[in-house]
């Protein structure tokens, strides 16, 4: 590294700028492939690479300069109309950008390595020397980002793309991520709002000190109760606002995850020989950073599943009277204190009979168990480890691991998965996730004389039931709930709570869902909803089965917070 780079501030500035420029470049390149005449977009991509090259040259990062210089040459020829954009050329540009990201990550980690760059440079040079007349037309794969406000026009795809060599060389992922997960970018206005709320809190603190002093000195006692009530209301308002401002500082747009999918869809579509239109809605929807970090893998698996299992081949779609191009819609929205993310395709749908047959074939359940299952419960079988309807495993799916990963990650977040599917029309997977994992809305319940907190994001409904309505199947209690059988778990037995001699003739069942599983938690009473802050139990008590943490109630008592995913796992092992 050059001596210039001993100036850490200069280096940090370069890394920050380069990261910002490259964050959106994959998305821009995929959009450019569909709109090659968009000179404004092409110029923006060119300027990004040019800026990185210039700064890298100043700091004497030779490998980075060589790669960005050749990439810039190709982009410049595209700007001048001396080259025609085609799938093979885009593959090379994307690989070059991936290598740029790798080199920048090396610099970030202070590990400058001799990376093999000759291959990609030779391919970039070769692309420039080809005659533009030999270049093929624009890609047959249609991968488009569509927003709710400014939808992009999509040119009709050209059929018959047969560039096998390009497909095989196309990378399957969007390269290494450049986002630093230890930091969060915060708008200055949000910092100003936070400072204002802290100022309000200081004023109320001073008022509380004054009231305490008056009480101790026995002055103004006639107004003490009234003033204390006013102070309590103001403190409640200010702390609520302060809490909201801090939460907003942790929020980032879900688009930070969504932006990698156009690249993934493009590569998968070419590998599968399918025409795919990816439509994305709600990219501006915000959620907690901790949730964002966990949902990337599940969404990737669901999109891969939709492309491989869901969407038919071009020939099958045309034969069925459908458009040749399949559609995958990825959407996010807020709903109360939850975020709803849906992945919908217009493919062949889920064949419940085929799923059931495969489950029987693999010995995952018996014919007797299958006969009592609803169509919805049969859909849930696809989340079982090792389950797949693929006759032969492929690199994309069919190994029975993808959907299991989805369930595992959603369970970690106490989220819920719902499946809707109509044969011949398509499928929709809906993820319901908590907005944040630090402060949660909870349902307080009583189990005899003990109080527990259940995350409201996992609660589907509550029921008041007489115990005589419970049934026993296979040695365990269940409840007939509409068109399904709901397994029950008594919290008094799970947590060894001492039961009272005289018990009410009825109890309450809290129906909770985690991933695709549903279970009814039997409690004594419902105490109401409350927002609680999760506190760790520490290393000594950190592994209590079914407990996620604790919180402190208004009266100073400690209430344990239930972990629905662990309870469901515990129930499955009973």
Q: What is the pLDDT of residues 520-566, one digit of tens each?
A: 999 999 999 988 878 777 777 767 788 888 888 877 888 899 988 88
pLDDT score for 329: 95
Question: Where among 252, 273, 303 does a domain terminate?
Answer: 252
C-alpha–C-alpha distance, residues 192 and 187, integer Å: 9
C-alpha–C-alpha distance, residues 351 and 231, integer Å: 61
Regarding whether 418 and 284 lie in a shared domain, the answer is yes
Regarding whether 22 and 56 lie in a shared domain, the answer is yes
C-alpha–C-alpha distance, residues 58 and 64, integer Å: 11
Question: Where among 252, 275, 292 does a domain terminate?
Answer: 252
pLDDT at 500 over 70: yes
Regarding whether 260 and 396 lie in a shared domain, the answer is yes
Regarding whether 424 and 462 lie in a shared domain, the answer is no
Confidence of residue 181 (pLDDT cuts 50, 70, 90): low
Regarding whether 302 and 242 lie in a shared domain, the answer is no
Regarding whether 403 and 370 lie in a shared domain, the answer is yes
pLDDT at 280 over 90: yes
Whether residue 152 is contained in a domain is answered as no
CB atoms inside a 10 Å sphere around CB 155: 13
Regarding whether 75 and 64 lie in a shared domain, the answer is yes
Q: What is the CATH number of the domain that holds 537?
A: 2.40.50.180
Regarding whether 386 and 445 lie in a shared domain, the answer is no
Whether residue 165 is contained in a domain is answered as no
CB atoms inside a 10 Å sphere around CB 253: 16
pLDDT at 289 over 70: yes
% the chain with pLDDT above 90? 24
Mean pLDDT of the chain: 80
Note the pLDDT tens digit of each residue in 324-359: 999 999 999 988 778 899 999 999 999 888 888 888
pLDDT at 149 over 70: no
Confidence of residue 159 (pLDDT cuts 50, 70, 90): very low
- Number of domain units in the chain: 4
**Structure-block tokens of residue 508:** 């309450």
Q: What is the CATH number of the domain that holds 358?
A: 3.30.565.10
Range of the domain at 356: 254-434
Regarding whether 58 and 7 lie in a shared domain, the answer is yes
Q: In the 3-class helix/strand/coil scheme, how is 333-400 assigned residue by residue?
A: EEECCEEEEEEEECCCCCCHHHHHHHHHHCCCCCHHHHHCCCHHHHHHHHHCCCCCCCCCCCCCCCCC
Region for residue 482 given its phi and psi (left: phi exceeds 0; alpha: psi -120 to 50; beta: otherwise): left
Note the pLDDT tens digit of each residue in 85-124: 888 899 899 999 999 999 998 888 877 778 888 888 888 8
Contact 410, 516 (CB under 8 A): no
C-alpha–C-alpha distance, residues 252 and 284, integer Å: 9
Q: What is the CATH number of the domain that holds 108?
A: 1.20.120.160
At a CB cut-off of 8 Å and minimum separation 6, what does 3 contact?
Answer: none
Whether residue 88 is contained in a domain is answered as yes
pLDDT score for 205: 92
C-alpha–C-alpha distance, residues 277 and 211, integer Å: 65
The residue among 69 and 290 whose pLDDT is bigger is 69
CA-based torsion, 280, 281, 286, 291: positive or negative: negative
Question: Where among 200, 218, 252 does a domain terminate?
Answer: 252
Whether residue 144 is contained in a domain is answered as no
Whether residue 97 is contained in a domain is answered as yes
Note the pLDDT tens digit of each residue in 9-49: 778 888 888 888 888 888 889 889 888 888 999 999 999 99
Of the chain, the end-to-end C-alpha distance in Å amounts to: 60
Place of tokens 């901790």: 290
Whether residue 372 is contained in a domain is answered as yes
Whether residue 176 is contained in a domain is answered as no
pLDDT score for 179: 53
pLDDT score for 151: 32
Confidence of residue 135 (pLDDT cuts 50, 70, 90): very low
Whether residue 258 is contained in a domain is answered as yes
Regarding whether 410 and 261 lie in a shared domain, the answer is yes
Regarding whether 394 and 308 lie in a shared domain, the answer is yes
Contact 349, 300 (CB under 8 A): no
Place of tokens 């990439």: 71
pLDDT at 461 over 70: yes
Regarding whether 497 and 393 lie in a shared domain, the answer is no
What number is the average pLDDT over the span 126-134? 63
In the three-class reduction of DSSP (H, G, I as helix; E, B as strand; rest coil), residue 279 is classed as strand
For residue 317, what is the enclosing H or E element? Answer: helix 314-319
On the CB side of 243, CA atoms within 13 Å amount to 13
DSSP 310: I
């Amino acid at each position: 590294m050059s001596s210039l780079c001993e100036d850490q501030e200069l280096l940090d500035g370069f890394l920050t700028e380069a990261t910002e420029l490259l964050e959106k470049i994959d998305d821009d390149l995929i959009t450019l492939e569909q709109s090659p005449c968009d000179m404004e977009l092409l110029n923006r991509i060119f300027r990004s690479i040019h800026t990185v090259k210039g700064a890298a040259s100043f700091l004497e990062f030779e490998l980075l300069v060589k790669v960005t210089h050749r990439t810039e040459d190709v982009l410049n020829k595209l700007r001048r109309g001396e080259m025609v954009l085609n799938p093979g050329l885009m593959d090379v540009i994307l690989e070059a950008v991936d290598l740029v990201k790798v080199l920048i990550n090396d610099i970030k980690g202070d590990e400058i390595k001799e990376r093999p760059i000759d291959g990609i440079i030779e391919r970039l040079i070769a692309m420039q020397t080809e005659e533009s007349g030999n270049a093929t037309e624009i890609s047959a794969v249609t991968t488009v980002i569509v927003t709710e406000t400014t939808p992009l026009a999509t040119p009709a795809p050209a059929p018959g793309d047969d560039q096998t060599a390009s497909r095989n060389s196309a990378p399957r992922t969007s390269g290494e991520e450049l986002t630093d997960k230890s930091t969060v970018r915060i708008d200055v206005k949000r910092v100003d709002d936070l400072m204002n709320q802290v100022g309000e809190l200081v004023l109320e603190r001073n008022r509380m000190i004054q009231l305490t002093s008056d009480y101790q000195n026995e002055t103004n006692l006639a107004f003490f109760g009234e003033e204390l009530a006013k102070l309590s209301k103001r403190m409640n308002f200010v702390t609520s606002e302060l809490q909201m401002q801090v939460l907003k500082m942790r929020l980032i747009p879900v688009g930070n995850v969504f932006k990698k999918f156009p690249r993934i869809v493009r590569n998968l579509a070419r590998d599968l020989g399918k025409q795919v239109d990816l439509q994305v809605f709600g990219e501006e929807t915000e959620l907690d950073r901790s949730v964002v970090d966990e949902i990337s893998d599940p969404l990737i698996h669901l999109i891969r599943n939709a492309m491989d299992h869901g969407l038919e081949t071009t020939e099958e779609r045309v034969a069925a009277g459908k458009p040749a191009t399949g559609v995958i819609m990825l959407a996010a929205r807020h709903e109360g204190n939850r975020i709803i993310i849906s992945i919908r395709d217009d493919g062949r749908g889920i064949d419940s009979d085929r799923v059931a047959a495969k489950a029987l074939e693999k010995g995952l359940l018996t014919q007797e168990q299958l006969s009592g299952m609803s169509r919805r419960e049969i859909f849930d079988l696809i989340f079982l480890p090792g389950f797949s309807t693929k006759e032969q495993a492929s690199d994309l799916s069919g190994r029975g691991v993808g959907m299991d990963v989805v369930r595992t990650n959603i369970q970690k977040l106490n989220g819920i998965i719902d499946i809707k599917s109509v044969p011949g029309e398509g499928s929709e997977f809906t993820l319901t996730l908590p907005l944040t994992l630090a402060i949660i809305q909870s349902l307080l319940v009583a189990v005899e004389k003990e109080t527990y907190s259940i995350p409201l994001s996992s609660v589907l409904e509550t029921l008041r039931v007489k115990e005589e309505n419970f049934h026993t199947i296979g040695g365990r209690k269940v409840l007939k709930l509409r068109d399904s059988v709901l397994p029950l778990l008594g919290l008094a037995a799970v947590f060894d709570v001492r039961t009272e001699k005289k018990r009410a003739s009825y109890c309450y069942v809290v129906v909770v869902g985690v991933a695709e599983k549903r279970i009814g938690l039997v409690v004594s009473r419902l105490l109401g909803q409350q927002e609680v802050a999760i506190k760790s139990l520490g290393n000594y008590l950190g592994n209590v089965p079914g407990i996620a943490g604790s919180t402190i109630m208004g009266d100073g008592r400690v209430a344990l917070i239930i972990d629905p995913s662990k309870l469901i796992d515990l129930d499955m092992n009973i």
